[in-house]
Amino acid sequence: MSSPERVVEDYLGHLAVERGRAQNTLRSYRLDLDRYTAHLAGAGIGDLAAVRETDVSGFVTALRTGERPLAASSTARALAAVRGLHRFAVREGLVPTDVAAPVAPPALPSRLPAALSVDQVEQLIAGCVADGPTGLRDRALLELLYSTGARISEITDADADDLDQDARTILLRGKGNKHRIVPVGRPALAAMDAYRVRARPTLAARGTGSPALLLNARGRRLSRQSAWHVLRSAAESSGLEPAVVAAISPHTLRHCFATHLLSGGADVRVVQELLGHASVATTQVYTHVTVDTLREVYATAHPRALG
């Protein structure tokens, strides 16, 4: 007998040790799989081999229609975790068949990433007042996010030695322990130089020698949540329209980085490498954001565009 809870523990251990998944990813998987095992327990199922396709599809339905229904994207993420669990169980010989494979995720709404204009990005960054150690750090953070297209977690995970100011590059540690080196623009380098010379020593003196590039007020590594708070505070102080401020997310500057590069004529495969996407298909969503640019080029360049 293979209890669902036991298989979940083995699966998460496999993801951590053999697949090298990040702690944030493991926490998300655990949350979703705990929901799944609770659903199975409620149905009186104590053996993973007893699960049927209808039980998995019933879990998806419960997530979407329960007392606190999940969005389609969150439900799809939970189903992905469940599918991974069942694939693992089959490979380990714990169950005879993969009953989760045929279950389709809910259809996701077609939604393009929100991207600000270049002027709006400048206004957003200007909303962060570079005054005092934490102010200089905050400006360096926002400049670096926009300059590199990095995820917030990639910047907060960076160490001081990862930024090479002579080569004008930074080493980023992406998902699945995939590392990449990304160029850093001059405005971001200038902001980082001001932070490292005038602010970081002060912050570091309050801690115990953290190697982190970005430090909090106690001299420890700046957390992802604190970095998101910096972005949110800058947005609220920027004077941008309320609707624009409300739409700003942790990925906003990453979206802007990709969109502005493509609008400027960058090759999608280069942008793919800079973003750390495994597939160019993931990056191509940004090409839809620049469709207005494509129309303008077509209208001015094609001989029969206006015919």
Q: Is 277 a catalytic residue?
A: yes
For residue 210, name the pLDDT band (cuts at 50, 70, 90).
very high
The answer to whether residue 191 sits within a structural domain is yes
The answer to whether residue 199 sits within a structural domain is yes
From the candidates 137, 254, 255, 260, which is the catalytic residue?
254
What letters, b where the CB count within 10 A reaches 16 and e where it falls short, cover 235-253? beebebeeebbeebbbbbb
The answer to whether residue 107 sits within a structural domain is no
pLDDT in tens, 214-239: 999 999 999 999 999 999 999 999 99
Q: Within this chain, do residues 51 and 124 fall inside the same structural domain, yes or no?
A: no
The answer to whether residue 295 sits within a structural domain is no
The answer to whether residue 189 sits within a structural domain is yes
Q: Is 179 a catalytic residue?
A: no
pLDDT in tens, 160-174: 999 999 999 999 998
Per-residue pLDDT, averaged over 113-132, amounts to 88
Write down the pLDDT at residue 164: 95
Q: Is 83 a catalytic residue?
A: no
From the candidates 151, 200, 221, 255, which is the catalytic residue?
151
User: Of 212, 233, 250, which residue constitutes the final position of a domain?
Assistant: 250
The structural domain count of the chain equals: 2
CB 21 within 8 A of CB 15: yes
Q: Is 168 a catalytic residue?
A: no
Q: Within this chain, do residues 124 and 246 fall inside the same structural domain, yes or no?
A: yes
From the candidates 29, 146, 195, 286, which is the catalytic residue?
286
Q: Within this chain, do residues 74 and 162 fall inside the same structural domain, yes or no?
A: no
Q: What is the DSSP string of 142-183?
A: HHHHHHH---HHHHHT-BGGGEETTTTEEEEE-GGG-EEEEE
pLDDT in tens, 27-56: 999 999 999 999 999 999 999 999 999 999
Q: Within this chain, do residues 131 and 85 fall inside the same structural domain, yes or no?
A: no
CATH number at residue 13: 1.10.150.130
| pTM given for the model | 0.64
The answer to whether residue 57 sits within a structural domain is yes
- In percent, how much of the chain has pLDDT > 70? 92
From the candidates 175, 180, 224, 232, which is the catalytic residue?
175
> Taking all residues of the chain, what is their mean pLDDT, rounded to a whole number?
89
**Cα–Cα distances in angstroms (integers) from residue 200 to residues 8, 72, 129, 220, in the given order:** 42, 42, 16, 11
The parent domain of residue 24 ranges over: 4-91
The answer to whether residue 49 sits within a structural domain is yes
Q: Is residue 307 pLDDT above 60, yes or no?
A: no
For residue 299, name the pLDDT band (cuts at 50, 70, 90).
confident
CATH number at residue 235: 1.10.443.10
How many Å apart are CA 142 and CA 196, to the nearest integer?
Answer: 15
Q: Is 255 a catalytic residue?
A: no
The answer to whether residue 209 sits within a structural domain is yes
User: Of 216, 250, 284, which residue constitutes the final position of a domain?
Assistant: 250
- Coil, strand or helix at 14: helix
Q: Within this chain, do residues 134 and 240 fall inside the same structural domain, yes or no?
A: yes
User: Of 198, 220, 250, which residue constitutes the final position of a domain?
Assistant: 250
Write down the pLDDT at residue 297: 62
